[in-house]
Every structure is written in C-alpha cells, then in structure tokens.
Amino acid sequence: MSAPDHKNQTVTNRVYISITAAVLLSIALILSGIWNAEQTGQVAENNINASVKIRQLSDAFNLHQQSMSAAIDFAVTSGDASWRNNYENHLLDLNQVMLSAAATVDENIIAAMREKAKAVVETERELFRLIGEDQQVAAFELLASDSYQERKIEQEEQALTLRATLELRSRQIIENLSSRLRQTTFALIMQIVLIVMIWFYIVTVVKRWQLAQTEHRDELSKLAHYDPLTGIGNRALFQLRLESAFQQSKRDNKAVGLLLTDIDHFKDVNDNLGHDIGDKLLVAVAEKIKAACRESDTVIRLGGDEFAIIITNLDSKRDSGLLANKILSIFERDLNIHGHKISTGTSIGLAFYPDDAENGEELLRKADMALYEAKRAGRRNFKFFDAAIEASARNKVEMQKGLISALENKEFKLFYQPLINMSTGEVIGAESLIRWFHPETGMVPPDDFISVAEESRLIIPIGAWVLEEACRQQVAWEKRGMPPLSVAVNLSGVQFGESNLVDVVEKIMRKTGISKNLLTLEITESTLMEDVNAVVARLHALNALGLKLAIDDFGTGYSSLAYLKRFPIHHLKIDREFVNELPHNSHDIAIARSIIKMAHELGVSVVAEGIENQEQLDFLSESQCNYGQGYYFGKPMPADEFEQWYDAVTQPQPEAGNM
C-alpha cells in the first residue's frame, strides 16, 4: 500500500470508529432517557395516587367526624334516638379511615386517637341511650358536662393534628415529585444536548473526512501524473495530454507542436557538484520553462534532464520557434543554484502533428531526431524536424551497422600526417588519422563517423585497433631504418573515460614493443574539462607509462589555466580554427601568441595545426611555436606514401620539399 493510501485508510477507519461510537452512545443516551422518563412517570403516578389517597383520607376523616357530631346534635335537639344508626355507621367508617391512615401516619398517633375515641364513643353511646329512654335533660347534662367537652376538645385537637400530618405528608409527596420531575427534565435536557454535541462532532468529522478524501484523490492523481521533484507533469500525463491535444487538433484543424529539450552536460553537474545541486538545477529549469510557456502548454519532465512541451493551438511553426528561443535564453546567463554559478546550455528539437507524425510515439521520435540534429549542429540552438533529419537519422543507424562490419572486414586504414620542428625544419613524427574505406561508398572521413562510433561506443574497439596499428607502424619504420619518429594517436573522450584505459594502452605498448617516449596520445581539451580530479589522476597514470600527452584542439574548450597547471602534459595543439586566418585576424593573433606564451611558461611545447601557407608558418615561427602540422608540409597519407614522402624530403635535393 502506498503512503497516501495508508494514510487515507487510517483516516477512514477513524471516521468509522467515531460514527459507531457516536451511534452507540446516542442509543445508550436515548435508552437511559426513556428509562428515566418511565421511572419518573411511575414515581409520579405513585406519588400522585398516594397524595390523593391521603387527601381523601383526611377529607373522609373530617366528613365522618362531623357527621357523627351532627348525628348527636340532631338526636339531642330532636330527641330522636334513631340517629344512633347513622352515628354508628359513621363511626365504623371513621375506624376504617383510621386504619388506612395508620399506613401513612405514625401508629402512636392513631393508637392515642383510638384510646381517646373509645371514651368519647362510650359517652356518646350513653347519650343515645339516655335519648332513647327519653331522658333528654340527662342527655343535655351529659353533653354539656365538662369531662365530655374536655375529651371532645382533646379529640378535636388530635383530629386536627392527624389531618395536619396527613396534609403535610401529601404536600411532601408532591414536593418530592416536583423535585424528581425537575431532576428528570434536567437529565433529559443534558442528554439531548449531549446527543446534539455528539452529532455535531460527527458532522465535523465526516466533513473533514470528505475533504481528506478529495485531497487523497488529488494526491493520487498527482502522484500518477506529476513528477515529485519538479512538480511538473510526467510521462503518464504526457501520454494523456498528447492524446487530447490530437483530438483537439482534429476538431479545430490546428497543429500540435512537441518541443524536446535537455540540459547540456547535466551529468557533469551531478558528478562535480553532487546530486542535490543537480536536483535543484532541474527544479529551477522546470520553473523557468514553465514560466516561458503559455497556460495552455503542457510542460513535462520525461526523465533525467529531458523536458517536453506540448504546444497546442498553434497557428504557425513560427510561434513554437519563439518559445524555443525563450527557452534557449534561459541558459544565456549563468544559473545561480544555491550559490553555485552553473553555466550550461540546451538544445531543442521540434516536431509537429499531423505534418510530421500520425501518433504520439512517432512525434516523440521525430522531435528526438530534431534534438539530436540540434546538438550535432553545435548545441545552444533549435531544429525543426524535416526530411533531411530523418534521412540523417536513418543514416546513423546504417552507419552503426557499417562500422561493425568495417571492424570485422578490416575496412579501416591509418593515414599519417607529418609533424615538423619549426625551428629546424626536421620531421619529428606523424599524427595517425583514421580513414574508412567503405566497399560501396569509398573513403569516409573520420568527421563523418567518429561521433556515431562514440555514441555507439564502437569507438572503444576501433580506438584500440588504431593504437595498436599506429604503434606497429612506428616499430616497422624503425625496423626499416628510419630515425626514431614519434607517432601521435587520437584518443576519444569515450576511450578516456574507460576505467581499463591504462591497462589497454600498456598491453598494446608491450605487445608492439614501441619505445615509450615515441608514443603521444592526443586528448581533446573538451574531454579534459569533465571531472578535473579524475582527469588529473588518469593523466598521471598514463604519464607513468612513459608516453607523451598532448592536448588537442586547444583553445576551443575555454579550459581554465588553473587546471592546466595540474595536467602532466607535453604538448598543446593550437586548433586549426585559430591558425586559419593568421596573420590577418588580430583576434587569432592574440590567441595564438598568448597560448604559446602561456604554454612555454608551463614548460609545455606548442604544436600549430592546419598550417597551409608560408605566411602562417612565418608568423608561427616568429611567435616561437615549436612544432607545425598542415597541408603546407604534407597531407595525411597512407604509411607507404608517407615513407616515400619522408625519403623525398630528407633526401638532399633542392626541389624536393619546402623545408
């Protein structure tokens, strides 16, 4: 499970747990609320019943007592003893009421009342008897007697106490009930508030979860379609956008442009300044490219230092040319990456749908061919794909196949161009230069195939063959009786970067038996500019073999003089480019002079390449240049021709040569 998936799962689980807990808690609260209400209802019913019953008791007590008194009054005043029945009935009921009251009131009170009542009732029965016997006067006297009246008053007081007690009890019951009701209401309100709070919380949790879900979906889609380092689109987005751009193009009949670009020498930035700075450079470049594009363009990191831009809504190819120029200008000045000033460049290839390609794959391939062509044309420029580019790409593939069979069929040959000591005019050696004799097309110059050989790394076996062949030739010349001529061999940057280079060179030297100091390896200035510490180590290892080292094409790579001091080299070869216009171009004059001066200060001798005329020779001799090479002395030639040439120039004949 990916990190965002895992995070999302955790959040989702938490939401489920919260909802379940909320539901359970709410159910528990509702049930307890119902139970509480139920209980309170029960209590209310009981209490109200009790209260009503007590009040009824009190009322009944009152009623019966008054009825009994009334019965006596009636009997006494009317002399009618039949009221006795009425009296006795009420007495029975009163007893009943007292019995019932005993459940609610203190039993002692009831017992005391009964005690008192007994005496009163006895007197009152006596009263009825007297009335029944028509002794009304005696009845009156009994009724008015102090003892009866006193008892009556006491009984009255007791009755009042009983009723007061009953009423108090009834009031207490009602008060208890209302406090119980208040408690229940409070509890219910609290439960409702709690439930509302819980669900309010749940709503918040769910909302947050929904937000997280949206973020999660966005994050997944970002991971799938965007480059985590630079934040711009990746290959997956490239496919998607390209497809939709094609659909759009079909609808509105406008072309789709694909711009491909990469950062020159990005590997060097990584190697020399570290991957962290390399990453920061990529981020900065991605930002700048994005800023150069329109909103409707899609910027993609295809991988490594390769970027692509899908340009839609194109009215003309010119528009995409403008964008290409904007991107080139990003690199015009040094880029400041975390305090490092990085000077690099870019090359750009462009291809168009539907003119150049019918589908995405083809479009990418063709833009890539255009990019390759832009690099070949010297970098820092852009190229539109065209038929010529396609042909050259096809040629490249053909050429690789051809180079493989050339090695097998021994179609390579070495030519030798003489090297002259400018102060003595002596021939001191030769530079070996490869030629390919193609069975169909004839001689192919190295400029046409070396770059393909380097790209396919076929230069490694080819270069090894060259070295062995040149050494073998040098030894053969010595055997032939020629004075010790040095032989210079060109070493490609690809060969120089091979970890077993020193072993390979040593083996070949041993195998051929060449004198150590008669072999010179020429390494181009641009090769030496890569990773300085590694280069210095490698040069020292080669130097330790006893051979000589020359920096080729010097002046084209703008190498730092500080580095030069650390290189154990013997010769600097001034590039033909600076010799060509001597002595008429003041710029070239200044360069040639300063290279010679600087080399001499470092104890290094200078070779001028491409000397074609007397003027150039004179100027260079005057400028203290040590050695010369060029058509003026001799063109590159096969070994046997070189021998003849050598014999001719070294024979003391007046018109044999120019020296």
Please report whether residue 636 would count as binding ligand C2E according to CB under 6 A.
yes
Q: Which does 434 bind (CB under 5 to 8 A by kind): Ca ion, ligand C2E, none?
A: ligand C2E
In this complex, which beta carbon is closest to ligand C2E, that of residue 323 or of residue 521? 521
What 8-state DSSP symbol labels residue 487?
E
State the minimum distance, in angstroms, from the CB of residue 610 to ligand C2E: 4
State the minimum distance, in angstroms, from the CB of residue 460 to ligand C2E: 10
In this complex, which beta carbon is closest to Ca ion, that of residue 373 or of residue 588? 588
Question: Residue from 356, 469, 552, 588 that binds ligand C2E (CB under 6 A)?
Answer: 552
State the minimum distance, in angstroms, from the CB of residue 479 to ligand C2E: 23
> Beta partners for 603?
none
In this complex, which beta carbon is closest to ligand C2E, that of residue 323 or of residue 551? 551
What are the Cα distances from residue 331, in Å, to 289, 335, 342?
A: 11, 7, 9
State the minimum distance, in angstroms, from the CB of residue 328 to ligand C2E: 27
> How far is the C-alpha of 8 from the C-alpha of 211, rounded, in Å?
11
Looking up tokens 């009618």 gives: 80
State the minimum distance, in angstroms, from the CB of residue 464 to ligand C2E: 11
State the minimum distance, in angstroms, from the CB of residue 636 to ligand C2E: 5
The footprint of ligand C2E on this chain (CB under 6 A) covers a number of residues equal to 22
Please report whether residue 490 would count as binding ligand C2E according to CB under 6 A.
yes
Three-state SS for 141-205 is HHHHCHHHHHHHHHHHHHHHHHHHHHHHHHHHHHHHHHHHHHHHHHHHHHHHHHHHHHHHHHHHH
Structure tokens at 400: 């690789």
Please report whether residue 631 would count as binding ligand C2E according to CB under 6 A.
yes
In this complex, which beta carbon is closest to ligand C2E, that of residue 132 or of residue 446? 446
In this complex, which beta carbon is closest to ligand C2E, that of residue 51 or of residue 616? 616
Structure tokens at 71: 């019965």
Give CB contacts under 8 A, 24+ apart, made by 57-60. 57/97, 57/100, 57/101, 57/104, 57/166, 58/162, 58/163, 58/166, 58/167, 58/170, 60/93, 60/97
Please report whether residue 612 would count as binding ligand C2E according to CB under 6 A.
yes
* Count of residues in the chain: 659
Q: Which of 262, 268, 275 is nearest to 229 (CA)?
A: 275
> Beta partners for 314?
255
Span 395-454, contacts to ligand C2E by CB under 6 A: 417, 433-434, 445-447, 450
Kindly state the helix (H) or strand (E) to which residue 435 belongs, with its residue range. strand 427-438
> How far is the C-alpha of 226 from the C-alpha of 290, rounded, in Å?
14
Non-local CB neighbours of 68 within 8 Å, separated by 6+ positions: 87, 90, 91, 94, 124
Question: Residue from 490, 495, 512, 629 that binds Ca ion (CB under 5 A)?
Answer: 490
Contact stretch for ligand C2E (CB under 6 A) within 422-430, 473-481, 537-545, 626-634 = 626-634
Structure tokens at 619: 């100027």
The 344-373 contact track toward ligand C2E, x by CB under 6 A, reads: ------------------------------
Structure tokens at 604: 């290094």
Please report whether residue 466 would count as binding ligand C2E according to CB under 6 A.
yes
Structure tokens at 549: 């080292």
> How far is the C-alpha of 186 from the C-alpha of 465, rounded, in Å?
103
In this complex, which beta carbon is closest to ligand C2E, that of residue 75 or of residue 611? 611
State the minimum distance, in angstroms, from the CB of residue 320 to ligand C2E: 35
State the minimum distance, in angstroms, from the CB of residue 612 to ligand C2E: 4
CB 109 within 8 A of CB 165: yes
State the minimum distance, in angstroms, from the CB of residue 603 to ligand C2E: 23
Half-sphere exposure of 159 (CA within 13 A, CB side): 20
φ/ψ of residue 499, rounded to 5: -65, -25
The 544-563 contact track toward Ca ion, x by CB under 5 A, reads: --------xx----------
State the minimum distance, in angstroms, from the CB of residue 474 to ligand C2E: 14
Non-local CB neighbours of 484 within 8 Å, separated by 6+ positions: 478, 515, 518
State the minimum distance, in angstroms, from the CB of residue 658 to ligand C2E: 13
Looking up tokens 């040094």 gives: 334
DSSP per residue over 550-591, as a string? EEEEETSS---HHHHHHS--SEEEE-HHHHTTTTT-HHHHHH
φ/ψ of residue 580, rounded to 5: -45, -50
Please report whether residue 305 would count as binding Ca ion according to CB under 5 A.
no
> How far is the C-alpha of 431 from the C-alpha of 146, rounded, in Å?
166
In this complex, which beta carbon is closest to ligand C2E, that of residue 56 or of residue 451? 451
State the minimum distance, in angstroms, from the CB of residue 634 to ligand C2E: 9
Q: Which of 390, 256, 240, 368 is nearest to 320 (CA)?
A: 256
In this complex, which beta carbon is closest to ligand C2E, that of residue 433 or of residue 485? 433
- State the burial class of residue 129 (Cβ atoms within 10 Å of its Cβ: 0-12, 13-18, 19+): middle
State the minimum distance, in angstroms, from the CB of residue 590 to ligand C2E: 21
Half-sphere exposure of 500 (CA within 13 A, CB side): 6
State the minimum distance, in angstroms, from the CB of residue 521 to Ca ion: 10
In this complex, which beta carbon is closest to ligand C2E, that of residue 327 or of residue 470? 470
In this complex, which beta carbon is closest to Ca ion, that of residue 297 or of residue 552? 552
Please report whether residue 610 would count as binding ligand C2E according to CB under 6 A.
yes
In this complex, which beta carbon is closest to ligand C2E, that of residue 308 or of residue 470? 470
Contact stretch for ligand C2E (CB under 6 A) within 127-135, 212-220, 326-334, 605-613 = 605-613
The 498-537 contact track toward Ca ion, x by CB under 5 A, reads: ------------------------x---------------
In this complex, which beta carbon is closest to ligand C2E, that of residue 309 or of residue 414? 414
Q: Which does 402 bind (CB under 5 to 8 A by kind): Ca ion, ligand C2E, none?
A: none
> How far is the C-alpha of 544 from the C-alpha of 548, rounded, in Å?
10
Span 594-633, contacts to Ca ion by CB under 5 A: 609
Contact stretch for ligand C2E (CB under 6 A) within 198-206, 255-263, 316-324, 608-616 = 608-616
Rule CB under 6 A: which residues touch ligand C2E? 417, 433-434, 445-447, 450, 463, 466, 490, 492, 552-553, 576, 609-612, 629-631, 636
Rule CB under 5 A: which residues touch Ca ion? 490, 522, 552-553, 609
